[in-house]
Every structure is written in structure tokens, then in C-alpha cells.
Amino acid sequence: MTSGPAENLASGESPDTRELEEARPQFISIPPETILNGQKAPFDLYVIIGSKQVRVFKQGEPLERERFERYLEKGDEALMARVDGIDSFFETGIVEMLAQAADQSLGPAVRARGAVRALEFAGLDLFLFGFDRDNFFTKVDRVHQILQVTLGLIQEDRTRPYLIASRQTEKMPNSVMQMVGATLIGGALLHKLQSVPIPTFQSFLLATYFRDISLMKNGISDRPSYDMHPEASMRIMEGYPAITEQFRLVVQQHHESPGGSGFPKGLRGLDIFLLAKIPLAAEKLTELLKLTDLSPSDETDILEDIALERFSRDSGISPVHRMRELLREAREAQRMRTVRTRA
Ligand SMILES: [Fe+2]
């Protein structure tokens, strides 16, 4: 029997236990607005029409929007690139997106989109190409830098909902979606639940992004058993200069649950660091945001389940209220984005 996302959420099953190994795509989508700039195509670009890939731009041809738009009626709205031809794109693409995120003259929705794309591309790079001892800390540095820019956006009330609404969830592999979704939604939730110093906030975001890194393809360690992946992720990150005690606790305890049913240690209640309870709650909110036909009472039931499983008896915070507020803001930003795109 299969169950829908709502049932999985309600049953308390973590979404990331369902897929241990994902198929690596041959093609990935490149958001058109990040590349259609009139300059030369860095690699061949395609659209998918039916089951075929049709080449729109040959490497070296100018990336003109009009040409892409002629294919839009027949095909998908994204441009596709062959995974084996794009490795250098991540470097330049991320730098451009980061510049967009940091540009104070741009509106909040545009800056948010730059930040989200940069985080998604950094995640996609880890997912597609993996990492080894020689390049891992360079890849972590890149995410750290993106998060330093994103921190300001997450703390800015006007931008935060757009960050959540901008995620291209349907076009990303699940593991990348969970990295980015839990980091951004987790950051927003932390902001609502508790006021913490900026370095703690940074540690939280970085730890949330890399919490499952040991489950990705890499040349540093073998794939751990699922219930040892928090410890294995921490071992891979060990030695990175920005690691703090808060970082360590978030990575090691992100699957612990106040009722004692979590892993790897089965810690209980207040023995679990509050910030470590947030990433999995955020993963569930990520799933919840994808559901468009949920009644308010079903939503309340699910939020109460999440609160009970993740935060039970934590005093001084009201997670259901905060999570509901966050969903409302993100849905509002999603609606505004849809209206603007259609106009
Ligand atoms: Fe995990």
C-alpha cells in the first residue's frame, strides 16, 4: 500500500527514510533566467518535448531569449543541460546568483531567487559530482559564503517568505530539495521560535545544510547505515574551521526525538539541543508546503503531530502557532509570485 505525503507527515515518518539511493539524472534543468543573457552558451542546451531532448542552443551560440521562447509552447519551461557537460557552470553560475542575492538595489523577490538558486546549485553540485578529501572543504566554503549572504535575507521580514516560496522543489532531486528546504525553512522557524546570536544562527544553517552529507556519494567514507548517518556526517565535517559546538549538536542530534524514539542515542526531552529539533520539523513543513488542497483542520492536526514529535514539552515556545504563521507567509509569497509570473 502506498501513502500520500499527508499520511507520511501525520505518521511521523521522516521523508528522508524513504529514499536511500536516488538515480542520477542524465539531464538537469537550468532556470532560464539564470542563463539567457545574450552571451555565448557555455554548453549545449535542450528543451524536453514529449520524450525527446531537442537542442535549442549549441555551445558557443548566443543565448537569446526569443529563440528559447519559440520552443516554449511545445516543451517544458526549463532549459536542460547534459550533466556530463556542465561541471564548470556551477562555479560561474553560483557567483552570479550570489551577486544577485547581495544587490541591495534589487527587490526582495529577485534577491531571494538569487540566494535560493545559489544554494540549490551548490547542493546539486554535491549531489551530481560528489566530493573527496581534496575538494570537500572548498565546497563547504562555497555554501558557507552563500549562507553568510542569505543570513541577512532570512532575518529580513520582507525577504524571508520569498526565500521559501522561490524553491524550485519539483525540479530538484529530493536530497537537494531537503538540504535547501530544511535550511531555509529551518532558519525561518528558528527566527520565529527563539532569538539567538548571529554566530549561532550561522552554525545552525550550515549544520542543517550538511546534516545528511554522509549519505551523498563521496570518496571520504563508505555509506553509513541510516541510523548512524548523523555521526558519520559529523565525522566528514570534522576539521572544518567554522565548526562550533552548536553545529556539532545540530548534526549529531537532528534525528533525536523528545519522546526517546529517535536515533542514534534515543535521547529524551531537554537532553536534545533545541536547535537540533528544528531541521526535521522544517523537512516536514517543506512537504506540507507542497500540498495545496489541505483543509485548515487537517493542517492543524499535522502541525500538532509535528510539534508533539519534535518539540514536546519545550517550554517558552509555541511551535504550532509559529509553524502556521510561517506556512501562511510562504503561501502568500507563492501566490504573489504566481500572479506576477502570469501578468
Ligand atoms: Fe538526516
pLDDT in tens, 208-261: 999 999 999 899 999 999 999 999 999 999 999 999 999 999 999 999 999 999
Distant-in-sequence, close-in-space partners of 136: CB < 8 Å, separation ≥ 6: 218, 220, 236
What's the CATH number where 267 sits? 1.10.3210.10
Cross-strand pairs, 48: 53
Rounded to the nearest angstrom, the distance between the alpha carbon of 178 and the centre of ligand 1 is 10
Decide if 22 is inside a domain: no
**Res. 156: pLDDT tops 60:** yes
Domain extent, residue 12, equals: 5-17+86-342
Rounded to the nearest angstrom, the distance between the alpha carbon of 198 and the centre of ligand 1 is 24
Rounded to the nearest angstrom, the distance between the alpha carbon of 14 and the centre of ligand 1 is 9
Do 137 and 225 lie in one domain? The reply is yes
Do 152 and 44 lie in one domain? The reply is no
Rounded to the nearest angstrom, the distance between the alpha carbon of 229 and the centre of ligand 1 is 7
Q: Which residue has the higher pLDDT, 51 or 264?
A: 264
Q: What secondary structure, in 3-state letters, does 104-130 show?
A: CCCCHHHHHHHHHHHHHHHHHHHHHHC
Rounded to the nearest angstrom, the distance between the alpha carbon of 310 and the centre of ligand 1 is 14
Give the least confident one: 13-27, 30-44, 90-104: 13-27
Do 67 and 132 lie in one domain? The reply is no
Decide if 261 is inside a domain: yes
Rounded to the nearest angstrom, the distance between the alpha carbon of 152 and the centre of ligand 1 is 26
Rounded to the nearest angstrom, the distance between the alpha carbon of 336 and the centre of ligand 1 is 32
**Res. 26: pLDDT tops 70:** yes
Provide the mean pLDDT of the chain.
85
Rounded to the nearest angstrom, the distance between the alpha carbon of 164 and the centre of ligand 1 is 20
Rounded to the nearest angstrom, the distance between the alpha carbon of 230 and the centre of ligand 1 is 6
pLDDT band at 337 (very low <50, low <70, confident <90, very high): low
Nearest residue to 249 via CA among 227, 233, 225, 226: 233
Domain count, the chain: 2
Rounded to the nearest angstrom, the distance between the alpha carbon of 291 and the centre of ligand 1 is 22
Rounded to the nearest angstrom, the distance between the alpha carbon of 39 and the centre of ligand 1 is 40
Do 280 and 335 lie in one domain? The reply is yes
Rounded to the nearest angstrom, the distance between the alpha carbon of 252 and the centre of ligand 1 is 9
Do 167 and 40 lie in one domain? The reply is no
Rounded to the nearest angstrom, the distance between the alpha carbon of 295 and the centre of ligand 1 is 29
Mean pLDDT of 19-42: 72
Sign of CA dihedral 219, 224, 226, 229: negative
Cell of 229: 548517518
Rounded to the nearest angstrom, the distance between the alpha carbon of 100 and the centre of ligand 1 is 31
- For the stretch 70-90, pLDDT in tens is 887 777 677 888 877 776 777
Rounded to the nearest angstrom, the distance between the alpha carbon of 34 and the centre of ligand 1 is 30
Do 184 and 222 lie in one domain? The reply is yes
